[in-house]
Homo-oligomer: A and B are copies of this chain.
Amino acid sequence: MTRKAAIIGGGVIGGGWTARFVLNGWDVNVFDPAPGAERNVEIMLANARLAVPSLSDGPMPPEGRVCFSATMAEALEGAEYVQESVSERLELKHAVYAQMQQASPDILIGSSTSGFKAVDLQKGAVAPANIIVAHPFTPVYLLPLCEISASAANPPEIIERTKKIVTEIGMFPLVMRKEIDAFIGSRFLEAVWREALWMLKDGVATTEEIDDAIRMSFGLRWAQMGLFENYRIAGGEAGMRHFMAQFGPALKWPWTKLTDVPEFNDELVDLVAGQSDAQSGHMHIRNLERLRDQNLVGILRALKDRNVGAGRVLNEHDARRRLALPDPVPDTAKPLEMARMQVLPGWIDYNGHMTESRYYFANSETVDAFLRLIGAGMDYVAAGHSYYSAETHIRHLGEAKLGDRLTGTLQIISADQKRFRSFVRIMKGDVCVATVEQLCLHVDIGTGKPVAAAPEVWGKLQAIAKAHAGLPMPEGAGRAVGQARA
């Protein structure tokens, strides 16, 4: 049977919880009497539907149903869990819990509070044992952290049930060892926020400069390892103890306006270094460095695909480099060298070999460059015509590995105004690792039907086809799969 959660409060946080539960197959009742709450939840859900399925490598479970309830009691009906996401006012939260526990005294209540301790939330409650902190981070449907903070009034089974439920909707539960205001995440956020406000107030930096500083540096580090593992690596082979010796003195320096600091002594060094050893000591510093670098490369590639932040810096760097390269002048009397590639981490399988579909990708890069050469590039496509691939035959003749440099050469086997047949060789130095024969049709994008190419495109294509007519027919062209060799 479909499980059901109640979400009380339909703001950015409540809407995010709703989306996370629903996309994990739970039904959700939402209760929020504020005008606009329903619209807001729908917006969060629409955002989540665009993003969350891209993270799953299997089919998504059938979406749960969202009901907007008219009363608290109606919302709790049939729910096994309720997530409270009302404003951060303690008396409001107390009133809400009283209503909940009147309607359903045994229900497990997780609070989205980013600051109040469970012991404070539970004050005056009928059943304090059932109220616990389950603190998420925006956007709730994407970020995995859920800080779970309990008081002495919460029995272990309540903590376990909360952990289990948030795990089932894909979150990472982190149970606090001690109750403190604002838990772990928001304490850091608050420290950074305070420092940032000082910088703005003192005119040291603007909001944009601060954002750039963060996303071009430690933001990238922190997305994949946290604070300590990165510092362990920065300490080099000498590790955490060395890092602390180097940077310990800074604690006394005016490096922040925030100046209440723990005493820097051997005890503190031992504590930090010992915990860091327990956390990462099983990995050699060289392996940690490479793991970090691989993670950073993956994150930077993702940002590059989206042309944002550090990714835009990389794209601009590529563009500068391209400008500095001499323009290739293709020699049409032999197969044209159209593309130079390097086998990237995303191109390889678990054995370190280039995965088979990437040979087709290498062909596409080669043919795309050829299309630009004959004047059928992006602008031509934007104007309504394009070459579409109709069929493709690939022969795998060798292997390429991570980092290998490949070139793609292209020979025109035949061409007319409506189509061409190309034969691409993917070369690793002098070795041909794959051949790709392809039939491309010239299509009117509007109708989807083959039509004659624009005269200037056909002129360029025809000239190359004539020059290539004198080349020998490539070995392997015209083959069907499994056909005996000639």
Contact = CB atoms under 8 A, between A and B. Distances in A.
Interface string A272-307: 100110110000001001111111111111111110
B143 A217 contact: yes
B391 A395 contact: yes
Nearest to A169: B317
Interface in A223-244: 223-230, 233-234, 236
B191 A194 contact: yes
Interface string A228-262: 11100110100000000011001101111111111
Given A139-B293, A295-B308, A213 B234 contact: no
Integer count of this chain's copies in the complex: 2
A295 to B, nearest CB: 6
A190 to B, nearest CB: 4
A219 to B, nearest CB: 3
Contacts of A355: 361, 364
B393 A391 contact: yes
A340 interface: yes
Q: Which 5 A-B pairs give the minimum distances between C-beta atoms?
A: A211-B226, A298-B302, A258-B258, A219-B222, A145-B216
A91 interface: no
Contacts of A178: 202-204
Interface stretch (A52-60, A98-106, A155-163): A52-60
B253 A181 contact: yes
Interface string A388-424: 1111111110000001010000000010000001000
A43 interface: yes
Contacts of A64: none
Nearest to A438: B481
A437 interface: yes
Given A137-B218, A258-B260, 16 more contacts: A12-B236, A56-B314, A139-B296, A144-B313, A178-B202, A188-B196, A196-B227, A197-B261, A198-B262, A219-B219, A258-B258, A295-B309, A356-B360, A391-B394, A392-B396, A480-B480
A483 interface: yes
Given A184-B199, A301-B54, A392 B481 contact: yes
A321 B40 contact: no
Contact of A356 (B88, B291, B308, B392): B392
Contact of A197 (B50, B268, B309, B363): B268
B182 A255 contact: yes
B190 A210 contact: no
Given A53-B342, A202-B178, A251-B194, A227 B210 contact: yes
Interface string A1-39: 000000000011000000000000000000000000000
A171 interface: yes
B182 A256 contact: yes
A318 B56 contact: yes
A375 interface: no
